[in-house]
Amino acid sequence: MASYGGYDTGGGYFPGSQGGGGSSSQAAKPVNDESLRPVTVKQIIDAEQAFGSDGPFRIDGVDVTQVTFVGMVRQISPQTTNITYRLDDGTGIVEVKQWLDPDKQDETNDSAFREEQYVRVWGRLKSFGNKRHVGAHIIKPVTDFNEVNYHLLEATYVHLFFTRGGAPGAGAGAGGDDGMFVNDGYGGGENADAMRLRNASPKAKKVYEYLNAHNSEQGVNMHIIARDIGMPVQDVMTAATELLDGGSIYTTLDDETFAVLQMF
């Protein structure tokens, strides 16, 4: 998980000369001005902007310039100098402008995308004529729909970080009522695994420990778990149901295959 606190998020910096029409002076800005933030379209629409159209945008009280979001292409409008996309992520619709390079003789104004296709955008918030849009650095197709759900979760996490504070042990908000989490053991003297298993049955603990030691995106089938730990299949299923209800594991390939749900 990237670190959100006004610092570089590790790969969240795009040089000003990369397709965004920026100048070399942009590269000299503090890292805070060039960090990348995952957002929703509604956050873009609701972002505050001081000093008219030239001032910085602020989301959750924090300056933000470069953003990334995922949305469905609703409309494509090719023009001489750019292609304008109208993207919808379920929270709102915003225009994204991808400028064409006039130095490329073979450049065409044909879009590489189609309507009703999901794409991810990396770009900079802009405002012109009291209408805001995103000047795109990069637009790429979404090939796995899980990316849509993941992005919404990540945008939510970052929003909560700035509005309620970080996780306990990681800075502001730790353990307080205004923090992102109540201080119930995560990040404190008791690790996340111990916290999860505090009230678990012995069988659930045994299954969890096995899954944690063999964790993967594909998960492990309950028949393999039963074989490896010497437990009846029915007992494994009962233990897995307990862990599922507690949010410690999740199903992967089918209802009989499980993996540990990793914490932030």
Instruction: Give the per-residue pLDDT at 43.
Output: 94
**3-state helix, strand and coil shares in percent for the chain, rounded to the nearest 5:** 30, 25, 45
In a 3-state reduction of DSSP, which class is residue 74?
A: strand
CB atoms within 10 A of CB 222: 22
Q: Any residues with CB less than 8 A from the CB of 33 and at least 6 apart, and which?
A: 63, 65
> Could you say which residues of the chain have pLDDT below 50?
1-32, 105, 169-190, 264
Measure the CA–CA gap between 34 and 17, rounded to whole angstroms: 13
Instruction: Give the per-residue pLDDT at 255.
Output: 84
- What residue type is assigned to position 83 of the chain? I
- Considering only CA atoms, give the Rg of the chain: 23
Instruction: Give the per-residue pLDDT at 217.
Output: 74
- Give the chain's domains with CATH numbers: 1-187 (2.40.50.140), 190-264 (1.10.10.10)
Is the pTM here over 0.85, yes or no? no
47: nearest Cα among 101, 94, 111: 94
Q: Any residues with CB less than 8 A from the CB of 209 and at least 6 apart, and which?
A: none
Any idea which residue has 């292409």 for tokens?
A: 73
Q: Tell me the pairing of strands 249-251 and 257-260.
A: antiparallel
Any idea which residue has 């009846």 for tokens?
A: 232
- What residue type is assigned to position 45 of the chain? I
Instruction: Give the per-residue pLDDT at 129.
Output: 74
CB 257 within 8 A of CB 220: yes
Any idea which residue has 């800005």 for tokens?
A: 29
